[in-house]
Amino acid sequence: MSDDVRYPSEKPEHPYFDSSFSGMLLGTLVSRFCGGCGYGSIGQLYTRVFEDEKLDPKLYPLVIGIGCYSQIFFLVHKNAQKMLTLHGRAPAIATGMKMANPKMKPIIFSGDGDCLGIGGNHFIHLCRRNLDCILFIFNNSIYGMTGGQAAPTTLYGAMSTTTPYKMFEPRSDGVELALAAGASYVARTTVAHPRTLMKYFKKALKHKGTSVIEVITPCVTYFGRKNLDNLGSKGEKGEIMDTGGKMFEWIKKNSIHINQAKFMSKEELFNKYIIGEFRYNPSKSEYSEEYKKIQNIAMKGD
Amino acid sequence: MSNVNGKRFLKPGKYLMMGNVAMAEGALSSGLKFFGGYPITPSTEVIEHLAKRLPEVGGCCMQMEDELASINAVMGASLVGAKAMTATSGPGLSLMTETISMAANIEIPFVFCDVQRCGPGTGFVTVPHHNDVGLTRFAGNGEFEVIAFAPMSCQELFDLTITAFNYAETYRSPIFILSDAYLGHIHEVVNIPPKEEILKRVIDRTIPEDTTGAKFTYEDINTHKLMIPKPYIVGTEFCPPLIIHLPHNQDGILMPEENSLRFMKIMIDKIRDNIDKISLTEEYKLDDAEIIIISYGLPVRASYRAVDIARKKGIKVGIFRLITVWPFPKEKVKKVVAGAKAIIVPEMNYTGVIAEQVERVTDLNIPVIKVPKVATLHHPDDILRVIEEVAK
Amino acid sequence: MNRYEIRIVGYGGQGIITLSKMIAYASGICEELLVTQTEAYGAQARGGRSWAEVVIDLDRESKQIDYPKALKPFDLLVILSDAATKEVKKEVIKKEENTGLLIWDSSTILGKFRAASKMKNLGLPIQKMALEKFGNIVYGNTILFGISTVVTKIFSEESAIETIKQFVPSSTLEKNMEAFKFGKQKAEEFLTQLKEGMS
């Protein structure tokens, strides 16, 4: 080993240390997420994009729904103007904000129960209007905050506290719903693909229209610990997913890229997540711009 | 209407206006910028009129997918500094209560117009029934005080809507206007004052020069008085780093659980401490009255007539009118009813929500007589009959 | 308090609500009297039975109209459909000499209308006349307004003309003025007949 190779005497400073941990403002530095949870990564990724893109906090308010992820406000960029809203109503509040101040581009954090359960209607109509905003759906296929009940997105065969035998309902698919409702940018990725997530987020920031990004994220405490990685299907030996690592592996294994999925049968895709970009349509008319035209017509008339 | 010019203010003068339209125009005069609504009989004229008028003044009128969305959109708009309101009827109000409760917590000002119809359930949709009076008071989970106005004519619908918006800015609590299916659809002459006069009355939404100050109501350390700062606006410097609907301090930072009582006290007392300023009442021939009519909304009109006739017959009767129904002016009513022979409370509901409040502050030996009417109006004779019976 | 009660009943599309608004406008805005107008609401107004009511307070001292709906007996009752004739009974019209009048359209009421003969009444084929003279049944409304101007004696002719200008599109103003004059003339004829009959 030659002499000119130097090792730093201490760890390099965390480049986003100053901007993350808005918890400092609230007097606590403790993340409230369980071990293995994906929301910490998501908060950090949001902060990185926010910092890298130098977003103006006044124009990019963060609207947070209700769920486990609500606690993310402890982790995201300290300058972001964050508001905690009601369960499922975040898209409606963002609609009001955007229309009262069209310069804004609200970023909405919502969960699977939030957006596909209680707030399904608001989600559909947000996509229908193609209002300029970014909607994240954090899909951990379980209701984490209330203690592990089944969500509309819970996979077939999974155990939860309200499906103690097994989940038998068909699941709802946020991406399919967004596509049908008319969102102009729709993508799905997972926490196990953080760079893709950042790429989609940055693309959504430049896109004018509703961007829906579904993020598959692990819940070890209420989903992983109670389920085998084959979700109880017969004939296969499953392994219980009781650590974050195992859940990350499972998510990677269970996610299939859209290009690959084209060549797979329905049976093969059962209980799988298809990831990738599903639609990118920048030419679709955006609601607040359309409304501006209506205002111009109204103002011109007597 | 053919004689509306495309500006925020109507040309001063007299207009034949529907109640719902008068209310919408009152809102526009006070600077309404966002309306989110969902059509529901009998409030539809409000959204219909504003869908035409709001874009003219550069505002936005949105027909949302349901009542939940409309109230949330209204709150979102108010968060970013637009004066916002919604209009609905009883069934819509019961859906909206969740958000009203949240708005009370984060002290977002908005005006809420309730054109009441006959319930419960779907009920008769085109007839009046003051059955939401209790609901507005207790709308939503949690403890908070609301302010509710009860206008009795189209002119008052216009004027009180302006007052309601000012109250919303000042007290940062949910404000209700209790109209009803009749009042909403009557055409009456409304006198629109000149623009300058209206502007003098309107409190605008602006941010203070010093943006580091408190964003939420707090107790002043020296005077122990509750201070209500101007509403914060998301997208400006005057905004807390986190808006959260949990018990919080003046900067929006979470309170420890054991301090929740202090937070509740602030929520409730910011209205109760100011009740003398908030509560609007009207007195008619009360000086020597032995029989007192306490009422609000449309029945007051019939009561005036009944009192005039009874006075001619030599019965000493007067009216105490509540223009703001909530907060209930306990002390004022106590003073009015002291020494009365009897109290008559004509209300357009069977339970007598306000009658119960009156009973609360009246001596046990003074009878409180309810005159209930549902789906129809009080005729002056209905009230006169009761007055004569009591005077016997 | 000196109430003047007007009720107009017919079916949807006859212009009942417009007529009531015109009367309210002429007396409320032009003559500055207290006035309230109420109307059928909801599904009724679109088809089927429709009604509108106007209450005018002739007493200039009053502060407000105590009961905003019209009360029986009426000063002026306008019946424009067969179905509405059922509500006409002897006691629904005021008996005083100078008021209390029933106006009905003999071209839309095809059945027997016996109750009308028991009171002061003016039956004219209004819609038929409107169609024949002016080419469209909508002018029936203006004819009725002309009749109302004369028989109610609440608002002046100038106020009435001002009201018509507010309510009708300018392209049809001339025709409407003709219809208004026609209605006025019919009503004046009727009043002189009535006087002669009495004396």
A14 within a domain of the structure (yes/no): no
* B191/B236 same-domain check: no
CATH code at position B25? 3.40.50.970
* B27/B166 same-domain check: yes
Structural element, H or E, at residue C195: helix C173-198
CATH code at position B322? 3.40.50.920
- Is the sign of the CA dihedral B20, B22, B23, B27 positive or negative? positive
pLDDT tier, C107 (very low <50, low <70, confident <90, very high otherwise): confident
A163 within a domain of the structure (yes/no): no
Residues of B in contact with A63 (CB under 8 A): 76
Percent of chain C scoring above 70 in pLDDT: 95
CATH code at position A45? 3.40.50.970
Q: Measured between CB atoms, does B234 come within 8 Å of chain C? A: no
pLDDT tier, C179 (very low <50, low <70, confident <90, very high otherwise): very high
B79 within a domain of the structure (yes/no): yes
**pLDDT score, position B5:** 46
Q: Measured between CB atoms, does A99 come within 8 Å of chain B? A: yes
pLDDT tier, C199 (very low <50, low <70, confident <90, very high otherwise): low
* B167/B263 same-domain check: no
Place of tokens 């001596």: B363
B185: nearest CA partner in chain C: C38
What are the φ and ψ backbone dihedral angles of A210, each rounded to 5 degrees? Answer: -75, 125
B5 within a domain of the structure (yes/no): no
Mean pLDDT, rounded, for A111-123: 92
- Taking CA atoms, C35 is separated from B16, B22, B334, C27, in Å, by 9, 15, 36, 7
Convert the pLDDT of each residue in A42-79 to its tens digit: 998 999 999 999 999 999 999 999 999 988 888 888 88
B6 within a domain of the structure (yes/no): no
CB A65 within 8 A of CB A115: yes
B8 within a domain of the structure (yes/no): no
Of B73, B235, B241, the CB nearest to A101: B235
What are the φ and ψ backbone dihedral angles of B210, each rounded to 5 degrees? Answer: -90, 105
B300 within a domain of the structure (yes/no): yes
Number of domains in chain A: 1
Q: Give the end of a domain, one of B151, B172, B201.
A: B201
pLDDT tier, C117 (very low <50, low <70, confident <90, very high otherwise): confident
Could you tell me which residues are beta bridge partners of residue B189? B16
Number of domains in chain B: 3
B376: nearest CA partner in chain C: C69
Q: Is the pLDDT of residue A302 over 80?
A: no
For chain C, the average pLDDT equals: 86
Chains with 3+ CB–CB pairs under 8 A to B are A, C
Q: Describe the crossing of helices B44-56 and A287-300 by its angle, rounded to 10 degrees.
A: 80
Q: Measured between alpha carbons, how far is C137 from C130 in angstroms, rounded to an integer?
A: 5
Q: Give the end of a domain, one of B134, B166, B201.
A: B201
A61 within a domain of the structure (yes/no): yes
Place of tokens 């993340």: A31
ipTM, two decimals, is 0.90
> B15, C67: Cβ pair inside 8 Å?
no
* B262/B177 same-domain check: no
Q: Quote the distance between the C-alpha of residue B246 and its chain's center.
A: 25
- In CATH terms, the superfamily for domain C3-124+153-168 is Pyruvate-ferredoxin oxidoreductase, PFOR, domain III (3.40.920.10)
* B195/B251 same-domain check: no
Q: Measured between alpha carbons, how far is A219 from A161 in angstroms, rounded to an integer?
A: 14
> B185, C69: Cβ pair inside 8 Å?
no
Of C25, C42, C65, the CB nearest to B126: C42
Residues of A in contact with B8 (CB under 8 A): none
Residues of B in contact with C67 (CB under 8 A): 301-302, 305, 377-380
Q: Measured between alpha carbons, how far is C53 from A53 in angstroms, rounded to an integer?
A: 65
In which domain, by residue range, is B316 found? Answer: 281-391
**pLDDT score, position B4:** 43
Calculate how close chain B gets to C93, using CA atoms only, in Å. Answer: 19
Of A27, A96, A98, the CB nearest to B36: A96
* B33/B75 same-domain check: yes
Of the candidates B149, B139, B132, B118, which has an alpha carbon nearest to the alpha carbon of residue B23?
A: B149
B78 within a domain of the structure (yes/no): yes
Burial pattern C147-184, b for ≥16 Cβ within 10 A else e, equals: bbbbbbebbeeebbbbbbebbbeeebeebbbbbbebbb
- Among the listed ranges A71-80, A110-119, A132-141, A144-153, which one has the minimum average pLDDT value? A71-80
Q: Measured between CB atoms, does B188 come within 8 Å of chain C? A: yes
Of B75, B98, B242, the CB nearest to A26: B242
Percent of chain C scoring above 90 in pLDDT: 31
Q: Measured between alpha carbons, how far is B76 from A193 in angstroms, rounded to an integer?
A: 33
A58 within a domain of the structure (yes/no): yes
In which domain, by residue range, is A282 found? Answer: 28-152+173-219+255-295
- Taking CA atoms, B47 is separated from A213, B43, B163, B185, in Å, by 33, 8, 20, 14
Substitution target in B124, B159, B182, B189 with the highest count of C β-carbons within 10 Å is B189
B4 within a domain of the structure (yes/no): no
Of C29, C37, C64, the CB nearest to B153: C64
pTM: 0.92
Of the candidates C55, C57, C58, C81, which has an alpha carbon nearest to the alpha carbon of residue C68?
A: C55
pLDDT tier, C136 (very low <50, low <70, confident <90, very high otherwise): confident
pLDDT tier, A301 (very low <50, low <70, confident <90, very high otherwise): low
Per residue of chain B (392 residues), what is the pLDDT tens digit?
333 445 788 889 999 999 999 999 999 999 999 999 999 988 999 999 999 999 999 899 999 999 999 999 999 999 999 999 999 999 999 999 999 999 999 999 999 999 999 988 888 888 889 999 999 998 888 899 999 999 999 999 999 999 999 999 999 988 999 999 989 999 999 999 999 999 999 999 988 888 888 999 999 999 989 999 999 999 999 988 889 888 888 888 888 888 899 999 999 999 999 999 999 999 999 988 999 999 999 999 999 989 999 999 999 999 999 999 989 999 999 999 988 999 999 999 999 999 999 999 998 999 999 999 998 899 999 999 999 999 88
**pLDDT score, position C84:** 80
Mean pLDDT, rounded, for A166-184: 92
Of the candidates B189, B194, B165, which has an alpha carbon nearest to the alpha carbon of residue B177?
A: B165
For chain A, the average pLDDT equals: 89
* B227/B296 same-domain check: no
